[in-house]
């Protein structure tokens, strides 16, 4: 049986690795470059052009904008991208290499956490969950793990903070600070990390717990302090104050005025953001939560069960802080997003928390089944010793039957999601990105420094063409004399370049 289990594990691991690499490859070299990615890439492009940490200001008046608050993907992501592009790497693939590396780091962190929680099967289950998450619904999507966005890097850094929070709180604080400078929404992970930290110091005095938390908090501030000092030097006092005001306004409003959504709409969107029908995704979540809660209750009633560890895992009592932290993290992100009626139905917003904490919760399925199984064994042993193999023994058998059904259900659902994610990757042939490059190459004949267009897919074409990108609805004085990218060839009096179905028109 041990050999069969080993073989099953390595087969499952090989299939999962293959699916992950397939999805990552599609995201890296085949998915189209969409407008948020292109907008983010204007920062490393301007940095390499000698303009400093500056965007094209496409959403901020269409003028070069240092430390643009509308660029919510932070320097922890964009500076390494600039370093990669400085080697002469392709704009799209080179830019995506950095988020791809963060995604691999996320999977590594989840494996470490899962293995710590429940052994190798829990690690495998944890690494599966990011593959099951589907945030590709437009208009604001995460097409894949290598998108030039801050959500996946932020999730990776949060997950690694959770890895170190029990043993090196100071390092967890620093990683959390880097996550904030990947995506501001990482701030919502603070309660989860604080809970995990405080619960990881049993028997310690309150003063020592507070000291550990304070040191971690100070180090969490360091990356932001460094970035804001750079902004102060670049912008000057007056510009820096305005920068802070604009950043706070953007973080508070989400940059999407006039939006109104309900809790029901948000939860429905979240349920649909997996490679499963929404009802089945919801049922899976309910089963997992009930299983873990039941196991916690049993463990609290039976210290002996709680002290037992699965093969390759740490004792349940030592992983309890991770369970509490992950639970708080999921509740914080989902609760905030669901009740934030001013935010649109974009699952990108809570994505860092979902990618970092949901896999950790799923990893606890394995030890939860183990605790309940052992509890059933203990009941049956006690019944046999008392020569009363009636109701208690029957309950023990029923418990085992239910656990087998739950384990099979989770395994089937996980397999289905991995298969669906791989199938989606296989259906893409990279034609969209190839077409974008073809059109952008034809647009380059216009030899324009700036090109104005409407927000949408055309933004990516302008960036790929090598020009700065402005919007046609920017203040007229800001875009005076700029060529315009349009799909209406009839309205173009003097075409500078033809790139069907687009045309670059003279000002």
pLDDT at 440: 94
On average, the pLDDT of the chain sits at 89
By the 8 A CB rule, do 216 and 170 touch?
A: yes
Residue 396's alpha-carbon distances to 352, 380, 386, 409, 494, in angstroms, are 40, 6, 15, 20, 82
Q: Give the closest residue to 346 by CA, choosing from 264, 253, 269, 251.
A: 269
- Residues 6 or more apart in contact with residue 392 via CB below 8 angstroms: 379, 380, 382, 383
By the 8 A CB rule, do 130 and 113 touch?
A: no
The answer, yes or no, to whether residue 311 has pLDDT greater than 50, is: no
Stretch 89-102: mean pLDDT, rounded? 97
Two tokens, residue 321: 């802080």
Q: Where are the domains of the chain?
A: 72-426, 431-505
pLDDT per residue as tens digits for the range 157-190: 999 999 999 989 999 999 999 999 999 999 999 9
The secondary structure element, H or E, covering residue 366 is helix 365-385
The answer, yes or no, to whether residue 270 has pLDDT greater than 80, is: yes
The answer, yes or no, to whether residue 208 has pLDDT greater than 50, is: yes
pLDDT at 310: 47
Residues 463 and 285: their CA atoms lie apart, in Å, by 41
For a pLDDT cut of 70, what percent of the chain falls above it?
91
pLDDT per residue as tens digits for the range 15-46: 999 999 999 999 999 999 999 999 999 999 99
pLDDT per residue as tens digits for the range 314-357: 666 688 899 999 999 999 999 999 999 888 999 999 999 999 99
* DSSP states along 119-142: HHHHHHHHHHHHHHB----SSS--
Q: Could you tell me whether strands 468-471 and 450-453 are parallel, antiparallel, or unpaired per DSSP bridges? A: parallel
Residue 460 exposed, middle or buried by CB count within 10 Å (0-12, 13-18, 19+): buried
* DSSP states along 246-309: HHHHHHHHTT-TT----HHHHHHHHHTSBSS-HHHHHHHHHHHHHHHHHHHHHHHH-HHHHH--
Q: Give the closest residue to 79 by CA, choosing from 41, 118, 22.
A: 41
By the 8 A CB rule, do 317 and 307 touch?
A: yes
pLDDT per residue as tens digits for the range 484-506: 999 888 878 889 999 888 999 99
pLDDT at 376: 66
Q: Who wins on pLDDT, 489 or 454?
A: 454
Q: Measure CA 2 to chain center.
A: 36
Stretch 289-304: mean pLDDT, rounded? 82
pLDDT at 309: 43
Give the highest mean pLDDT range of 198-202, 255-259, 433-437: 433-437
For a pLDDT cut of 90, what percent of the chain falls above it?
66
Look up the pTM and report it: 0.93
pLDDT at 403: 72
pLDDT per residue as tens digits for the range 348-403: 999 999 999 999 999 999 998 888 887 766 665 655 555 555 555 556 566 666 77
pLDDT at 379: 62
Find the length of the chain.
507
């Amino acid at each position: 049986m041990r050999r069969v289990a080993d073989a099953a594990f390595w087969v499952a691991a090989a299939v999962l690795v293959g699916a992950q690499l397939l999805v990552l490859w599609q995201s890296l070299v085949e998915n189209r470059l969409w407008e948020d990615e292109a907008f983010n890439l204007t920062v490393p492009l301007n940095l390499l052009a000698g303009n400093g940490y500056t965007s094209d200001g496409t959403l901020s008046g269409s003028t070069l904008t240092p430390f643009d608050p509308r660029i919510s993907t932070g320097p922890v992501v964009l500076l390494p991208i600039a370093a990669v592009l400085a080697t002469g790497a392709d704009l799209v693939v080179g830019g995506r290499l950095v988020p791809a590396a963060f995604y691999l780091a996320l999977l590594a962190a989840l494996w470490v956490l899962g293995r710590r929680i429940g052994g190798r099967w829990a690690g495998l289950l944890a690494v599966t969950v990011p593959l099951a998450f589907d945030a590709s619904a437009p208009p604001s999507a995460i097409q894949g793990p290598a998108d030039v966005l801050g959500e996946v890097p932020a999730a990776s850094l949060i997950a690694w903070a959770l890895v170190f929070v029990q043993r090196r709180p100071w390092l967890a604080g620093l990683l959390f600070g880097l996550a904030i400078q990947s995506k501001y929404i990482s701030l919502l992970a603070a309660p989860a990390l604080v809970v995990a930290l405080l619960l990881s110091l049993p028997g310690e005095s309150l003063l020592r717990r507070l000291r550990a938390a304070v040191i971690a908090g100070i180090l969490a501030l360091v990356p932001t302090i460094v970035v804001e000092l750079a902004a102060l030097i670049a912008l000057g006092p007056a510009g820096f104050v305005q920068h802070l005001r604009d950043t706070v306004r953007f973080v508070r409003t989400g940059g999407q005025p006039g939006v109104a959504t309900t809790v029901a709409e948000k939860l429905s969107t979240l349920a649909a953001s997996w490679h499963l029908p929404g009802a089945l995704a919801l049922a899976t979540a309910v089963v997992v939560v009930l299983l873990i809660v039941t196991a916690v209750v049993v463990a609290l009633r039976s210290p002996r069960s709680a002290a037992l560890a699965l093969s390759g895992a740490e004792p349940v009592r030592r992983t309890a802080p991770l369970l509490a932290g992950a639970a708080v993290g999921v509740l914080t992100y989902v609760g905030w997003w669901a009740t934030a009626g001013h935010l649109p139905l974009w699952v990108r917003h809570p994505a860092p928390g979902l990618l970092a904490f949901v896999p950790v919760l799923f990893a606890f399925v394995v030890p939860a089944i183990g605790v309940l199984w052992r509890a059933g064994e203990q009941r049956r042993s006690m019944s046999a010793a008392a020569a009363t193999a009636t109701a208690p023994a029957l309950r023990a058998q029923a418990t085992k039957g239910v656990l087998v059904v739950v384990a099979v259900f989770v395994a089937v659902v996980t397999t289905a999601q991995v298969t669906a994610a791989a199938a989606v990757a296989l259906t893409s042939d990279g034609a969209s990105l190839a077409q974008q490059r073809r059109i952008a190459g034809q647009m380059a004949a216009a030899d324009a420094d700036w090109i104005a267009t409407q927000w949408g897919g055309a933004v990516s074409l302008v960036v790929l063409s090598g020009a700065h990108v402005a919007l046609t609805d920017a203040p007229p004085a800001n875009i005076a004399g700029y060529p315009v990218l349009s799909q209406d060839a009839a309205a173009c009096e003097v075409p500078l370049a033809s790139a069907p179905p687009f045309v670059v028109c003279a000002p």
